[in-house]
Amino acid sequence: MPRTLRRAIVALALIGLMIGLEFGFERLVTDAAWRQLALFAMVNVIVALSLNVINGMAGQFSIGHAGFVGVGAYTGAVVASSLHLWLYQHHHSESAPLFHNSFLVMPIVLLASGAVAGLFGLVVGLPSLRLKGDYLAIVTLGFAEIFRLVIATAQTGGDAGGGLSGALATLGGQNGYAGPNASQLAKTATDPEVAARLLSYENSGVPQYAGPFWIFGAVVVFTIIAWRLKFSGWGRALRALREDEIASAAVGVDPTRYKVTSFVIAAIGAGVAGGLLASMRDGNPTIQPDQFTFNYSFDAITMVILGGSGSVTGAVVGGVFVTFTVKMIEQLQGLESIQALKAAHPSLDLNALRMVVYATVLITLMILRPEGLFGERELFGKAKSDNKKKAPPSGEPEPATVAATVATVAVPAVPEETEAK
């Protein structure tokens, strides 16, 4: 099969590229801060891609996406730490995470992060997607804040007690979750050998298994998924739904079902992004509740809107653009002239100034391109253009088959034939 063959070749090439990145990334980008930024941008791309499903494609307005990223991050951090400690204890691997071990750890981490976040998505989405517009926005915001505050205000230290509060306490409260607590575990170990082994563990936070291979790989996979979702009957139904809910229902597209499904898919994507964020190499080895404030949700919305609501390419570009712009403005503060300005006027709040610059950039962009960089279009060929006359039929248009179907129309056929029961 040529299609299968083509896919296999592309997949192999991509895997090769990812392995190359895994080992060559440090040489490619020598500054660890920039490496961290690049990987963080990639995680943000996944966040933007997933938010694009619900905010862009389905036309709902969720402003609590950071909550799902947070759920995924905490799940991922706990799972990765536990697996890492288990590997350390039973397989005598080192304290530092190894690449070959990541093939055991990361799939489980990402599955768990996606599944838990997806479950939360279902629980939040099922009742709230009957609501419209602003009400949904409030529910999602509420979810994200409740999640963050539950973790941030958990009682930590000492005996936090059992049950839910005990479990929450192990997540570290406001200080964040910083890897497995090996010494705590050693106390309860009955086998002295195991206890000694556990005590010798050097905790350096959440094990950072997610190197460039996993992060860039996930970006590629999620871009393909988002693309295929958009250019499928499902994506088409979502667009119809966004245009007219009542008319969609009148032709058999159940609005609630489609909205909940897209919400859950968005939550799963955010969860996976969180799982990657938690164990990102060169990243912060602790996961803190303050990483998932409303600011982060807002950044995600900015990425989607800036790139163009509903556009997969737009989400990718928006994710990278926003991450780097924020960083650039931070870098500006290091400039000598700015430093001199700060020295001259000690009362000047540079942090506030940063937000002014950021806001100016956003406002300018929105004035110049109100529909976002890409609108709903894509970068490559399959333009789903708004008003262009020659929009190709959706799906993956293959000229030959389209021509063939047009040809068969000439022959009077029985429509019922195709309706298999």
Partner 1 sequence: MSSAYREEDASHQATASVPVLDLRGVTKTFGGLRAVSDVTFAVPERSIFGLIGPNGAGKTTLFNLITGVYKADVGTIRFRTTDLMPLKPAQIARVGVARTFQNIRLFGQLTVLENVLIACEHKRKAHLLSALLRTELFFRDEEEMKKRALELLAIFDLDSMADEVSTSLSYGNQRRLEIARAMMLDPKLLLLDEPAAGMNYGEAEGLKTQIRWLRDRFDLTVVLVEHNMQVVMGVCEDLHVLDHGETIAHGSPEVVRKHPKVLAAYLGEDADEQLDAEAAARPNENAGQGADEGSSAAPETTELS
C-beta of 251 vs 343, nearer to partner 1: 251
Question: Number of H helices and number of E strands within the chain?
Answer: 17, 0
CB 52 within 8 A of CB 304: yes
8 A C-beta contact, residue 92 and residue 129: no
Q: Which is nearer to partner 1, 31 or 244 (by Cβ)?
A: 244
As a whole number of angstroms, the distance between CA 83 and CA 77 comes to 10
Residue (258 or 292) nearer to partner 1, CB: 258
Nearest residue (CB) to partner 1, 36 versus 232: 232
Q: How many CB atoms lie within 10 A of CB 135?
A: 13
The Cα–Cα gap between 194 and 136 comes to 50
Q: Shortest distance, CB of residue 192 to partner 1, whole angstroms?
A: 50
Going by C-beta distance under 8 Å and a sequence separation of 6 or more, which residues neighbour residue 233? 395
Q: Between 60 and 297, whose beta carbon lies closer to partner 1?
A: 60
Residue entry with tokens 């799982």: 275
Query: What's the min distance (Å) between Cβ of 403 and partner 1?
Result: 11
Query: E strands along 178-229, which residues?
Result: none
Question: Minimal distance in Å, beta carbon 135 to partner 1?
Answer: 20
Minimal distance, residue 255 CB to partner 1, in Å: 7
Q: Of 338, 252, 341, 274, whose CA–CA distance to 110 is shortest? A: 274
CB of 121 or CB of 173, closer to partner 1: 121
Least distance (Å) between residue 68 CB and partner 1? 19
Annotate 61-84 with DSSP letters as a single string: ----HHHHHHHHHHHHHHHHHHHH
Residues that bind partner 1 (CB under 8 A): 225, 228-229, 232-234, 236-237, 239-240, 243-244, 246-257, 261, 386-387, 389-396, 401-402, 405-406, 408-409, 413, 415-416, 418-420
Closest contact distance (angstroms) between CB of 271 and partner 1 is: 17
